[in-house]
Structure 1
C-alpha cells in the first residue's frame, strides 16, 4: 500500500470533518525492527451504565510482516498483533495464552464511531462486535466476535464462526512520541494493562521494613526487663528396678521408660504476668557430656489459655587428636509473645540423658518481662 497515492492520498486532501488522529495517516515508525506505516484510523466506543467511553485504533502495515495495530485509550498506548484462535483457551472469567493466565477486565459491545483511511475489511460506522478484554499486565488479550443483523429473527446475533483474537503490549507514551516524532496528550487514568510504574518503591519499603525489624528486635532484646520468676530444681534419680525373684508377682513401673530417658514433671506457684509485654524464659543446667530437655507450659488460671515453649540444653566436650573441643551450651533462652494479663502456673516436664545416674542435672528457670 502506498500512502502517497490513490485513495488514501485523496482522503488526506479532504477537509476534515471527524476527529483528528493523534498520529497522522501516512506516518511511519519502526516496530519489530521494521518500518510500519499508519494506513487506517478509527474511533470505537462501548457503553456502561448509560456512559459511552471512546478509544482510537490505528492500523499499521508492512509488506514483510503484515498488519499491526496501535490502540490509544485515555492517553495509554498498546502495540497489538493478532494471535491464532486455536492457541487461546477460555475458562470462565480467564483465558490462557502462551502459558500465561489472563483475567477478564470487561465484556461489552464495541461500536465503530468514525473511520478514515484503508483497512483489510469493509468497515463502516455503526459496525458492532462483542469485545472481551483479558489482562495480565503489561499484556491485554482481546477477543472480538462480530454482531450482525438477523433479518429473519429481527435482532442482532453473534457471528460465532468469525472469532478474532489479538494480543496487546503496553507501550509507554514517550516511546510512541519518539517513534512518530509527535507530541501526545498525557494519560488521564490508569490503564488496565499498565505495569505498576513505581516498582522501585518495593525495594525501599523492604529496606525500611528490615531496618524497623532490627530496631524493634534490638529494643525487645535490650529493653529494661523485670524478673518475675526464678527457681532451681534438682530432679531425683530413679533407681533401676532389680529383677524380681522367680515366681514373685511383677509390679508395673510408675512411669514409662524409653531407653535411657525418663520424664519428671513439676508445677510452679502462680506467676503474675503483665499484658502487652513479651516474655523471655531462660533455662540453665549443669549438664556435663549429656543433655537436658525441658518442655514447658504457661497456663492461665482463669481462662485456661496455654502458651508452650521448649528449652533443649546440651553440652559436650572432650579432647580429640590432642585438641580440646566442645559443643552446645549450658544455657538456653526462648522468647514468647505477649499474653493477656493474669496469673499463670508453669508446668515443667523434664527428661535427661542417663536419668538413673547418682547425680542428675540441676536446672534453673527464670522468667522475665
Structure 2
C-alpha cells in the first residue's frame, strides 16, 4: 500500500501486508505524518545504531511469518538504549522483538491484565518475580503505526520467571500487558536471514543458563549409576592376578638377565603393577624389567631405583627413601609375555670365591675367614660347605680331585691352606642386601579410574550449580528485587 509523504513526496510502500495505518514516519525525510493530513506533525530522529532489521523485512518465528512494521528506540536515563521491533503477521496479529545489549526477547500482547502484588505478578497460575520498573521515552523511530505514535514518557514494570517474563506498559492511565520469552541470537539470524547482529553484552533479563542444569544432573546421576554397575560387573567377573613373584640374588643377574617363565594375560588392556623390595640400608639398588610380548616381540622397558638413607644430625635423626617401590606398566594388552630382569646394587656384587684357592682339575673354590673356618663352593650349583678344621677340608679336596698320590700337589695344597689370607667378615658381610624381591600383578580390576570418573562427575555438577548461581546473580544485579544477597 502506498503512503506518500506530503513533505518530500516519497512513496513509502515497503510493506508487503495490508493493515490500517494511522501514522507513518517517512523513510526519506523522517517526518511523522498522520494519514490524510498534509502537514507533518514533527521531525523524528532516525534509528541507526545497532538496528539490524529494516521496516518491511520478513522473518519466521515459532512457525509464523512476520513483517517488521516499525522500529522504536527507547531511552532510559542519559545513556541506556534498547530497540523494539513491531511485527505483524498476515492475520493481523501483533508481536514484538526487544533487543538490549545484544540480548533478545520475543513478546506478544496479552488480552487481559495479570494479577500484581508488591513483589510478584501471577499469570496462568505461574508466579513472576518483580525485576524492575523503568521509566523511558522514545529516542528514535521509523515505520508505520496503527495507532498514534506516542513520544510521551512511558513506564515499564517487568516480572521474570526463568526464561519468561510478563510486563506492564503504562502510558498515563492506559496500561498494556505483554508476555515474552527468550530468543537466541542464532534464532534471530535464522528467522530474518541477517548475519551481523549486535554483540551480546552481559546477561539478558530472561537469558537461560547455557545448559539445563536439572537435566544435566539427571544425566550425571544415570551415568554414575551405569559406571557403578559396570564396575560391579568388572569386580565380580575379573580378579587381579599375580603373574610373577620371585626373590632374585644379585649374583644371579650380574652381567646377564634373568628370563622368567611365560604368562598369559586375557581381557581388556590394564596396568601391570610391579613391586620391588630390597633390604638396602644407607645404600641403593636398581631393578630393570623388560616386558616382552612373545607374539610381536614388542618390548616395554621400565627401571626403578630403591634407596634408603638415614642418619643423625643436629641432635635429631632423619631418614629418606624406602626399601619398597611400586611402579606401573600401563595399558598392557592381552597376550603372552615374559620378563627379562636385571638388577644391581651399590658397590656391585663381590664373589670372594673368584679369588679363592682352586686345586688343579677341580670344580670348586675355597676361602677362609678370620676365625679359621674354611668354605668350599661348588661351581655348578653354588652350594657352600663349611669346614672347621684344615684336615677335614684336605680330605674332602683329596676325594674330589684325585691328587692323593701326587705328593707335590698335596704339599702345595697344604702350603696354600696354611698361608691363605682370611676373607674378613665372611659370610656375614656378603649376606647383607644380597637379594631383590619382585612381584608383578595384573590389574584388570581398578578402582582408580572408577573413582576419578565419579569425582569428575560430582565436581562438574557442583561447579555447574556454583556457575548457575553466579549467572543468576549477575542477571539480577540491576534489579531492585533481586533474590540474591548483594553482599
TM-score class, shorter: 0.3 to 0.5
Instruction: Flag the structure with higher helix content.
Output: 2
**Bigger strand fraction:** 1
Rg (Cα) greater in structure: 2
TM-score by length of 2: 0.36
Q: TM-score, normalised by structure 1?
A: 0.47
